[in-house]
Amino acid sequence: MAKNNSGEKLYYSISEVSRMTGLEPYVLRYWEKEFDVLSPKKNRGGNRIYTLTDIEIINRINHLRTREKLTIAGARKKLTMKKPSEQKATMQSSAKTKTLIGQIRKDIEDLLKIFS
């Protein structure tokens, strides 16, 4: 398990990302086909490994689909459009916050499994 200097994991499995984002693995795999900006690497075994950047992109897509009610095509277009820097910063901040919340949720679930 690779970690950076602050002790955070560098890579997450699809099941971990699913728990962090609340999205089913099949949705993550589908979005990977639909959004060029989402392209997790694969390890030697062929399993997807997601970075925090990938998870932030997933959270942005999820926001566009659920909060802004955009179609896949609309979300794809909005992700690739040039945005005013303030709007872009707000969107990135929101995605980072959701990523952090997802990490905390996963850690709590892991702790509950250990203590139950």
- Per-residue confidence (pLDDT) for residue 86, from 0 to 100: 60
Statement: residue 116 has pLDDT above 90: no
- Per-residue confidence (pLDDT) for residue 94, from 0 to 100: 79
Structural element, H or E, at residue 62: helix 52-66
Statement: residue 79 has pLDDT above 60: yes
Phi-psi sector, 22: left (phi>0), alpha (psi -120 to 50), beta = left
- Per-residue confidence (pLDDT) for residue 19, from 0 to 100: 94
Q: Residue 88's pLDDT band (boundaries 50, 70, 90)?
A: low
Task: Tally the C-alpha atoms within 13 A of residue 6's C-alpha that lie toward its C-beta.
Answer: 2
Structural element, H or E, at residue 49: strand 48-49
Query: First CA to last CA across the chain, in angstroms?
Result: 24
Please tell me the pTM assigned to this model: 0.70
Phi, psi of 48 (to 5 degrees): -70, 140
Q: What is the CA radius of gyration of the chain?
A: 15
The secondary structure of residue 103, as a DSSP letter, is: H
Amino acid identity at 74: G
- pLDDT per residue as tens digits for the range 8-60: 788 999 999 999 999 999 999 999 999 999 999 999 999 999 999 999 999 99
- Per-residue confidence (pLDDT) for residue 54, from 0 to 100: 96
Domain residue ranges in the chain: 14-115
Query: In angstroms, rounded to a whole number, what is the distance separating the alpha carbons of residues 102 and 104?
Result: 5
Query: In angstroms, rounded to a whole number, what is the distance separating the alpha carbons of residues 98 and 20?
Result: 9
What CATH code would you report for 14-115? 1.10.1660.10
